[in-house]
Structure 1
Amino acid sequence: MISFEIILTFFAAAILLALAPGPDNIFVLTQSTLRGRWAGVAVTMGLCTGLVFHSSAVALGVAAIFQTSVLAFSALKFAGAGYLIYLAWQAFRASAQKFSGGSMETMSFKKLYGRGIIMNITNPKVSIFFLAFLPQFVVPSAGSIPLQILMLGGIFIFATLIVFGSIAMVAGYLGERMNQSPGMQKILNRVAGTVFLGLALKLVTTRQ
């Protein structure tokens, strides 16, 4: 088994990485601000489910395909960018009433959860990051390497839940205050749409 010292070091690194600005925590921030704290929690759960996919891909060696195949990498990133553009279009055309924050009446937990999953698994850079990051903490003499990878992936997911869940709570609280004004709702919708377009552009321009 992996030593406690390695687990503690890995957990600290995972917390810092989750805090670093990136597409996933920005996504949680925008959704929480627009739709309320529990919407952010639903998205966070979806994103973490996506991390289960990436952890499993690394353990099985599938992530190496995205690192070596230009076609697979490009197909996945363009699918992700297309989804983000769709979300941007929804945000820009939404009315203040339709996008009122503070409750999840306008979108179910299941739909928000699914949105988090799609957002995460359509980013091939996550699999490649896991492929480069997780093995650094693997100890060959400590037992099954795939099992260690899955264990490290679980620790990373736990760290992500803590950080992203906190972001959802804080952003949701602030969003509920701001969404009381229809004018502010419209501004938040436009900001969210712009953020989604920016994330789509960043994803399209990423390279292996």
Structure 2
Amino acid sequence: MSLSFLLTSLIVIVSPGTGVLYTLAAALTRGSRASVAAAFGCTLGIVPHITAAMLGLAAVLHTSALAFAVLKWLGVLYLLSMAWQALRERGALAVDGHVDVRSTAKVIVTGCLINILNPKLSIFFLAFLPQFIAVGENHPVARMLELSAAFMAMTFVVFVIYGLFAASVRDRIVTRPQVMIWLRRIFAGGFAVLGLRLALTER
């Protein structure tokens, strides 16, 4: 596995996006356990896109305006609903000191859906992974699986680090209602901006 692949992947992963924002929000509203669950959900949401890239389905999204638009607008609506939930203190981003199995599952599912409903990820992997597979590779599928596994592992680790750092300062924040109000507005605005950016995205 080349150093260029690892460095490029790290730059992509640490860049602020929906996954990072959601992991931070989960950490600050529900604590460290929820942050790990969010990181796991976001990482799990990568699997369908990698599978699509390997099966060539991402090419369909790239060439079919209808398929791309359907998935894109579903993603936009979901991000806007996340913004609304953040403002209303509902759903997976509700402040809760007790995180049970059910609420953890909700955090994972939400993180997973955030990434699944982003068509740009499929196209990204379709364009990204093949660059690091040598021409004449004897086992290209196995190589792609290896690169995909490494990318997912890095994603999970980086998101967990983000989440645990945010969770470490959680107690200082949740005890200040005014701070939480502004924090929720920031997260809601962040999800809304990301939704708008996705809405303006072309194939």
1:101 shift after superposition: 5.2
1:20 shift after superposition: 1.6
Q: Which of residues 7, 11, 29 is equivalent to 1:12?
A: 7
Cα contact 1:51–1:153 (8 A) shared by 2: no
1:86 shift after superposition: 1.3
User: Matched residue of 2:46: which SS?
Assistant: helix
2-structure distance, mates of 1:105, 1:173 = 19
Alignment of 1:34 onto 2:48? no
Instruction: Read off the aligned partner of 1:46 and give its amino acid letter.
Output: G
Identity percentage of aligned residues:
35
1:123 shift after superposition: 0.3
Alignment of 1:180 onto 2:175? yes
The 5-angstrom pairing of residues 15-94 of structure 1 reads 15-94=10-89
Q: Which of residues 161, 166, 174 is equivalent to 1:171?
A: 166
Q: Which of residues 132, 149, 153 is equivalent to 2:127?
A: 132
Cα contact 2:17–2:194 (8 A) shared by 1: no
Task: Please give the root-mean-square deviation of Cα atoms over the aligned residues, in Å.
Answer: 2.0
User: Matched residue of 2:175: which SS?
Assistant: coil
1:132 shift after superposition: 0.8
TM-score scaled by structure 2?
0.90
Unaligned runs of 5+ in 2: none
Unaligned runs of 5+ in 1: none
CA pair 107-191 structure 1, distance change in 2 beyond 3 A: farther
Q: Look up the match of 1:189.
A: 184
Instruction: Read off the aligned partner of 1:73 and give its amino acid letter.
Output: F
1:34 shift after superposition: 2.3
User: Matched residue of 2:45: which SS?
Assistant: helix
1:128 shift after superposition: 0.7
User: Matched residue of 1:141: which SS?
Assistant: coil
1-structure distance, mates of 2:94, 2:46 = 28
1:12 shift after superposition: 2.4
1:71 shift after superposition: 0.7
Cα contact 1:33–1:101 (8 A) shared by 2: no
Instruction: Read off the aligned partner of 2:65 and give its amino acid letter.
Output: V
1:99 shift after superposition: 3.2
CA pair 123-195 structure 1, distance change in 2 beyond 3 A: same
2-structure distance, mates of 1:128, 1:79 = 17
Q: Look up the match of 1:162.
A: 157
Count of residues paired in the alignment: 201
User: Matched residue of 2:146: which SS?
Assistant: helix
1:141 shift after superposition: 2.8
Q: Which of residues 139, 147, 150 is equivalent to 2:145?
A: 150
1:205 shift after superposition: 0.9
Q: For structure 1, which segment, 121-130 or 133-142, has the greater mean C-alpha deviation from structure 2 after superposition?
A: 133-142
Q: Look up the match of 2:136.
A: 141
Moved over 6 A (4+): none
Q: For structure 1, which segment, 104-113 or 133-142, has the greater mean C-alpha deviation from structure 2 after superposition?
A: 104-113
User: Matched residue of 1:21: which SS?
Assistant: coil
